[in-house]
Amino acid sequence: MGQVSPCLKSLFIFFNVLFAIVGGVFFLLAILSQVVLSHENTQFESQTTGVIILYVIGGVTVALAVLGAYGAHKEKRIPLIVFMSILLGGGLILMRFAIPSAMMRSQLNGSMEKAFREMLPLDEAPENAIALTNKIQSSLQCCGWFSYEDWRGKVPESCSCQTQTEEEEGLCQSISYEALFRLNSKMIYNKPCFPIILKYTAMLLDIGLGVMFGFSALALLGALVSGILLHQMRVSHPRSTLIFNVPTFSAQPPKYTELFNSAEK
């Protein structure tokens, strides 16, 4: 009769401890995001979706880790079966989203460039788009999506270099513009914003793909190990079977017949 491998059980419990730590990290990110957004934006209620998703992911991850560790430690089949089913389904779902996203990764540059060029010229864009562009230009120290000429001579102050240090670091360039029938010049940021945004977007996408593929691989591995544990538990503790004793019939005559014959003689 087989036994559950103590080494495999310990490894499985250690895997679930790491899983619980990952869930705690998601909880911490949710708390930090909530604190930051509540300080920076007074309309925080409209941006709680991402924070709620982080809380849900963290809670589900911790609950699954506790369920798997309990099932392995106590050698309970039902918690392990639930754990294996959820991990297997979750891993396959993550793979379902990760593979198409990885295939679309090569089309990111073209699709983003097309979307940003549809916003040109910037001086004729909607007011909310202009406000967002000005905020991005000030934050990333850039001007225009592809060039300062995207503003068609109406370069806003968000493109202007703010300090002498920025000029000394080579972040600025001088342009000429006409105002009140005079030719003036100003120092603006020399980098366009689109390559910077594309870089950060690609980096975030790569991180997201890495997380999805990593979680799906861990989920499938956890489902595999839990399946092995379930198999060992089934072999080690087989179900008891009922044994029925079938009565046997003798070919000898019954007792009363023998007594009857002996009495006649």
CATH number at residue 176: 1.10.1450
Is the same domain home to 93 and 176?
Answer: no
- Give per-residue pLDDT as tens, 113-155: 888 888 888 888 888 888 889 999 988 889 989 988 888 878 8
167: buried, middle or exposed (CB in 10 Å: 19+, 13-18, 0-12)?
Answer: middle
Per-residue pLDDT at 261 exceeds 70: no
What is the domain range of residue 143? 112-192
Is the same domain home to 30 and 140?
Answer: no
Is the same domain home to 96 and 158?
Answer: no
Examine residue 253 and state whether it is found in any structural domain, yes or no.
Answer: no
- DSSP state, 147? -
Number of domains in the chain: 2
Examine residue 264 and state whether it is found in any structural domain, yes or no.
Answer: no
Examine residue 197 and state whether it is found in any structural domain, yes or no.
Answer: no
For the stretch 112-148, what's the b/e string if a residue is b when 16 or more beta carbons lie within 10 angstroms of its beta carbon?
eeeebeebbebeebeeeebeebeeebbeebbbbbeeb
Is the same domain home to 98 and 228?
Answer: yes
Examine residue 65 and state whether it is found in any structural domain, yes or no.
Answer: yes
CA angle centred on 68, ends 57 and 209, rounded to 5°? 40
Is the same domain home to 12 and 93?
Answer: yes
Is the same domain home to 119 and 153?
Answer: yes
Examine residue 18 and state whether it is found in any structural domain, yes or no.
Answer: yes
- Give per-residue pLDDT as tens, 216-232: 888 888 888 888 888 88
Residue 241's pLDDT is: 44
Is the same domain home to 117 and 97?
Answer: no
Is the same domain home to 25 and 44?
Answer: yes
Answer whether 20's CB lies under 8 Å from 61's CB.
yes
Is the same domain home to 98 and 206?
Answer: yes
Is the same domain home to 217 and 131?
Answer: no
In one letter, which amino acid is 176? S
User: How would you classify residue 5: left for phi > 0, otherwise alpha for psi between -120 and 50, otherwise beta?
Assistant: beta
How much is the pTM? 0.65
